[in-house]
């Protein structure tokens, strides 16, 4: 049986699915479902929709759900397939979410077929506030995000032996595609976003690409954990009420095995407002390290983490190139958040003198 498409979800299928996930009572039925497209122009690798539901026969269930499926844009879908990200997200929710101390959305259905057609039906976080990568994170948002990263990383710290299906940040198909993306994406990145890239960085691109395998190797050296791999503001929902979780992390398409500091560097360098990062950077990284220790992780030497952090800020320039140079940046929203991603990561590389790792 093929994986259903969002536009083909019928009330009977939804009724059975929601009953199986205990979202509705056994005598409640979905009477109708209306699909609304959301997230247009995000420039990433999946399509998002919101299902508006009405019920009959018993107490109602959730008024709306979010449905996630493969990207409509063929360029983005091809990149997604090369990184096997749909399969990785499906397996994360089925196998790893129950072990994770960080908050993830409730999943009602997760199906994928051999052709990478997938459907994910999850709770709608409509009452939460979605992060804004264009505006960037302030200090309080950043502190909250690093708290959740510490919880995520502590959940799997030095306990990844049974996660052979999760790509290693070095020596895997994912890692090789990352290298190819950093190579082939640079001409477009330079053409479209070159006005916010310092000459000191653009002049070292040959050395940077040559150093990438060595940087991957450094971030693949134990202790390893599960990292999110795409921990950016538009994958984060912030609670706004006392009865809500402080933060819910979505988009688990890119989990990797790596040193946890890679997620921290990714967020601070690309998502936190540059002036906030400059003012609080060492304190924020130190607090992440201290939180790991509080969660029972041994060997949390701040200076070693700090060196890894600087290296990871440089390494994630490859992500900047891959995204801005290979994905669709033609919509105003995609162009705007990619511009900030490029600008912020370039500034962090210069501020931290990270080019010394080349």
| More confident site: 318 or 4 | 318
pLDDT band at 38 (very low <50, low <70, confident <90, very high): confident
State the fold for domain 129-357: Aminoglycoside 3'-phosphotransferase; Chain: A, domain 2 (3.90.1200)
> Does the pLDDT value for residue 2 go beyond 90?
no
Q: HSE (CB half, 13 Å, CA atoms) of 281?
A: 25
> Does the pLDDT value for residue 86 go beyond 90?
no
CATH dotted code for 6-123: 3.30.200
pTM for this entry:
0.91
Asked if residues 37 and 60 have their Cβ atoms less than 8 Å apart, the reply is no
pLDDT > 90: percent of the chain: 82
Every domain range in the chain assigned CATH 3.90.1200: 129-357
C-alpha to C-alpha distances, 200 to 193, 203, 247, 355, 357, nearest whole angstrom: 15, 6, 37, 9, 14
State the Cα torsion 261-272-348-157 to the nearest 10°.
0
Please enumerate in sequence order all residues whose Cβ is within 8 A of that of 254, keeping only pairs 6 or more positions apart, or say none. 83, 85, 88, 228, 229, 230
255-268 pLDDT, tens per residue?
999 999 999 999 99
pLDDT of residue 120: 92
Every domain range in the chain assigned CATH 3.30.200: 6-123
> Does the pLDDT value for residue 165 go beyond 70?
yes
pLDDT band at 43 (very low <50, low <70, confident <90, very high): very low
Asked if residues 195 and 335 have their Cβ atoms less than 8 Å apart, the reply is no
Classify the C-alpha dihedral 202-207-213-218 as positive or negative: negative
Long-range contacts, stretch 296-302, CB < 8 angstroms, 24+ apart = 296/154, 297/153, 297/154, 297/157, 299/223
Residues 245, 103: Cα–Cα separation, whole Å: 7
Interval 53-63 mean pLDDT: 95
The two beta strands, 236-238 and 256-258, are unpaired
DSSP assignment letter at 168: B
Interval 328-354 mean pLDDT: 95
Interval 316-330 mean pLDDT: 94
């Amino acid at each position: 049986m093929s994986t259903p498409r969002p536009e083909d979800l019928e009330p009977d299928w939804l009724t059975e699915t929601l009953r199986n996930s205990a979202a509705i009572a056994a005598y409640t039925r979905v009477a109708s479902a209306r699909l609304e497209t959301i997230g247009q122009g995000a420039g990433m690798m999946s399509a998002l929709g919101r299902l508006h539901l009405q019920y009959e026969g018993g107490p109602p269930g959730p008024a709306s759900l979010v449905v996630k499926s493969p990207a409509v844009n063929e360029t983005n879908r091809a990149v997604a397939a090369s990184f096997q990200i749909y399969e990785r997200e499906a397996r994360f929710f089925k196998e790893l979410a129950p072990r994770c101390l960080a908050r993830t959305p409730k999943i009602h259905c997760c199906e994928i077929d051999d052709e990478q057609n997938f459907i994910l039906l999850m709770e709608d976080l409509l009452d939460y506030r979605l992060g804004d990568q264009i505006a960037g994170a302030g200090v309080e948002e950043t502190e909250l995000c690093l708290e959740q990263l510490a919880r995520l990383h502590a959940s799997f710290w030095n306990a990844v032996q049974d996660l052979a299906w999760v790509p290693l940040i070095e020596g895997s198909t994912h890692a090789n595609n990352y290298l190819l993306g950093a190579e082939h994406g640079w001409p477009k990145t330079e053409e479209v976003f070159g006005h916010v890239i310092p000459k000191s960085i653009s002049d070292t691109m040959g050395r940077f690409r040559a150093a990438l395998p060595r940087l991957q190797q450094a971030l693949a050296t134990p202790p390893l954990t599960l990292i999110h791999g795409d921990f950016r503001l538009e994958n984060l929902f912030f609670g706004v009420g006392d009865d809500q979780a402080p933060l819910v992390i979505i988009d688990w398409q890119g989990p990797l095995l790596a040193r946890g500091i890679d997620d921290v560097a990714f967020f601070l360098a690309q998502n936190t407002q540059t002036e906030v990062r400059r003012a609080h950077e060492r304190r924020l990284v130190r607090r992440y390290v201290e939180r790991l220790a509080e969660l029972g992780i041994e060997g949390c030497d701040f200076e070693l983490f700090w060196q890894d952090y600087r290296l990871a800020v440089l390494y994630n320039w490859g992500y900047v190139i891959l995204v801005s140079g290979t994905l669709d940046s033609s919509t105003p929203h995609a162009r705007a958040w990619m511009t900030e991603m490029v600008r912020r990561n370039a500034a962090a590389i210069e501020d931290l003198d990270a080019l010394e790792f080349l």
